[in-house]
Amino acid sequence: MATDNFKGAAGYLQQEQGYRDKALKMYPWICGRCAREFVYSNLRELTVHHRDHNHDNNPADGSNWELLCIYCHDNEHTKFHEYILYGATKEKVLAPATFNPFAQLKDLMEKK
């Protein structure tokens, strides 16, 4: 029996449950993006999002939490990943924009 693994998973769930409970007590059960309202029966579709995307950052005042439905939550993380992926790439792409590829071509043509 992999009791150690089981304990580890349970510990993680307990931690998540801890801040989720706090966030649900602190905030109205409404998705912060699409304003969908939640009741007990569908509450499991309402999730706690960490504004700074750091799940270990759980201040007691709830300032790092935001309640989002699973769809908006998904969307939020896709955006964040796109920001990391394409935000970083964009800078690399934009940087050589000051370089004029035709300058060299003009040079070559004038030498002719």
Instruction: Name the segment binding Zn ion (CB under 5 A); options: 7-15, 17-25, 29-37, 86-94.
Output: 29-37
Q: Which stretch binds Zn ion (CB under 5 A): 6-14, 20-28, 43-51, 56-64?
A: 43-51
Neighbours of 77 (CB within 10 A): 13
Nearest approach, Cβ of 65 to Zn ion (angstroms)?
A: 9
Q: Report the residue from 20, 23, 46, 49 that binds Zn ion according to the rule CB under 5 A.
A: 49
46 binds Zn ion (CB under 5 A): no
Q: Which is nearer to Zn ion, 80 or 86 (CB)?
A: 80
